[in-house]
């Protein structure tokens, strides 16, 4: 009996030590959450973080909501359905988004990336506050086709959410404002700033461009940087880049402003993570970078409001030789951020 009692005590001690170790690991994981951190080579964000400080509880709630299919009418489509992490938070392989009941949208799913530095959202504009952006996909017929009132009602019936809302906002009450702020806390944490380009710009040890990458960088600065400004690789503006009108005649920013000068203007996309985010353009018409190069080299159309930068010296477009394409591609690949598309804290749990 004494021997048996000894082993019972030892077993209990081991279980206690394991529990303590597990608890220490949990505490360590919690203590490493640093909130929103501005990359050293980025400017100050435009999102008003002072009005919605990122906390661990708020981030965890936002992540859960981002991957929550109850945001859609039939509980099948989440934000993460069209913004897939491994694809740079786009819907890889689809020219336009596929929503509820497999209905087709009219535009390619833009990446959820570096949104804290964005002052306008959507390919065609019309939304200028990140805290309001989710309303569009939730209520759009071909995306989630739901109402915010129904979403709130469904969330209130899920046991975990009152607890998560209380941890994040100090109250179990689930309302639209807190719901939106939680989603924003997750989305502003989707920061892509650890590509080879970033490491070179930060002068990290052992990081430098190859000869082709450096030559491609020079070409980029000469031919592309007016619209795709570093380090975000977009200036956030809306421009007509000379695409032939789509079969549905999507007129871009004009649909939001009804200003004639905005016809066929679309938001300038970031060039980060292009390896993961094909196809390209607002309607996903180009499957490869060569398709994009072909467009700028010889397919730019003289449509209304064509950007002046694409019609200089009596010529339309951007001249690109075969060698230019090779070197530009080499540089653009330095904008791929493998950490961003594999970060476990951004993944569905």
pLDDT tens sequence across 298-313: 999 999 999 999 998 8
Can you list the domains of the chain with their CATH numbers? 49-188 (1.10.760.10), 196-334 (1.10.760.10)
Q: Which residues contact 297 (CB under 8 A, 6 or more apart)?
A: 317, 318, 319, 320
Query: For 255-287, what is each residue's pLDDT tens digit?
Result: 999 999 999 999 999 999 999 999 999 999 999
First to last CA, the chain: 46
Mean pLDDT of 336-345: 98
Cis peptide before 91 (omega within 30 of 0): no
CA atoms within 13 Å, Cβ hemisphere of 47: 25
The tokens describing 241, both together, are: 């880049």
Percent of the chain with pLDDT over 90: 89
- Residue 22 has a pLDDT of 46
- Residue 27 has a pLDDT of 46
- In this predicted structure, which of 18-22, 147-151, 256-260, 281-285 has the lowest mean pLDDT? 18-22
Query: For 93-139, what is each residue's pLDDT tens digit?
Result: 889 999 999 999 999 999 999 999 999 999 999 999 999 999 999 99
- In this predicted structure, which of 25-29, 149-153, 220-224, 284-288 has the lowest mean pLDDT? 25-29
227 is in an annotated binding site: yes
Distance CA 233, CA 224 (A): 9
Mean pLDDT of 147-162: 98
- Residue 32 has a pLDDT of 81
- Residue 314 has a pLDDT of 83
Q: Is the pLDDT of residue 151 over 70?
A: yes
14 is in an annotated binding site: no
- Residue 20 has a pLDDT of 52
Q: Which residues contact 304 (CB under 8 A, 6 or more apart)?
A: 240, 260, 263, 264
190 is in an annotated binding site: no
Distance CA 49, CA 129 (A): 12
Give which of 183, 306, 192 is closest to 243, Cα–Cα. Answer: 306
- Residue 11 has a pLDDT of 52
Handedness of CA 234, 142, 248, 253 (dihedral sign): negative
Q: Is the pLDDT of residue 157 over 80?
A: yes
Buried b (16+ CB within 10 A) or exposed e, 149-186: eebbebbeeeeebbebbeebbeeeebeeebbbbbbbbb
Distance CA 189, CA 34 (A): 11
20 is in an annotated binding site: no
Q: Assess contact for 123 and 151: CB atoms under 8 A.
A: no
Give which of 109, 147, 116 is closest to 50, Cα–Cα. Answer: 116
Residue 227's CB is within 10 A of a number of other CB atoms, namely 18
φ, ψ for residue 315 (rounded to 5)? Answer: -125, 145
DSSP state at residue 299 = I
User: 């679309």: which residue's tokens?
Assistant: 266
Distance CA 331, CA 175 (A): 45
- Residue 285 has a pLDDT of 96
Mean pLDDT of 162-187: 98
Q: Assess contact for 253 and 211: CB atoms under 8 A.
A: no
Q: Is the pLDDT of residue 294 over 50?
A: yes
Which parts of the chain fold into alpha helices (H)?
Answer: 2-31, 56-66, 79-82, 135-139, 148-156, 160-169, 176-188, 196-201, 211-223, 254-257, 274-277, 289-294, 322-333
* Mean pLDDT, the chain, integer: 92
Q: Is the pLDDT of residue 254 over 70?
A: yes
């Amino acid at each position: 009996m004494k021997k048996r009692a000894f082993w019972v005590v030892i077993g209990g001690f081991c279980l206690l030590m394991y529990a303590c170790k597990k608890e220490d690991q949990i505490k360590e994981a919690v203590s490493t959450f640093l909130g929103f951190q501005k990359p050293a080579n980025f400017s100050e964000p435009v999102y008003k973080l002072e009005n919605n400080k990122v906390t661990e509880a708020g981030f965890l709630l936002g992540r859960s909501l981002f991957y929550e299919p109850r945001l859609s009418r039939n509980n099948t489509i989440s934000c993460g359905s069209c913004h897939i992490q491994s694809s740079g938070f786009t819907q890889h392989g689809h020219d336009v988004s596929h929503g509820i009941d497999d209905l087709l949208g009219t535009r390619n799913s833009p990446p959820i990336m570096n949104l804290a530095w964005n002052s306008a959202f959507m390919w065609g504009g019309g939304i200028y506050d990140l805290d309001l952006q989710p309303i569009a996909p939730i209520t759009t017929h071909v995306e989630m086709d739901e109402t915010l009132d129904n979403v709130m009602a469904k969330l209130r019936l899920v046991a975990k959410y009152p607890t998560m809302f209380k941890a994040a906002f100090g109250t179990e009450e689930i309302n639209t404002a807190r719901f939106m702020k939680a989603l924003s806390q997750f989305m502003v944490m989707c920061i892509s700033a650890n590509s080879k380009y970033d490491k070179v710009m930060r002068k990290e040890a052992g990081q430098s461009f190859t000869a082709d990458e450096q030559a491609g960088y020079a070409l980029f600065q000469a031919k592309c940087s007016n619209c795709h400004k570093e380090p975000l690789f977009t200036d956030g503006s809306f421009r007509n880049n000379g695409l032939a009108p789509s079969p549905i005649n999507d007129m871009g920013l004009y649909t939001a402003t009804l200003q004639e000068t905005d016809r066929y203007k679309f938001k300038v996309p970031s060039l980060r993570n292009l390896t993961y985010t094909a196809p390209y353009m607002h309607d996903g018409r180009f499957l490869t970078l060569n398709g994009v190069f072909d467009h700028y080299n010889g397919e730019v159309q003289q449509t209304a409001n064509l950007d002046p930068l694409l019609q200089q010296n009596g010529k339309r477009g951007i001249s690109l030789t075969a060698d230019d394409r090779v070197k530009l591609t080499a540089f653009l690949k330095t904008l791929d951020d493998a950490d961003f598309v594999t970060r476990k804290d951004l993944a569905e749990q």
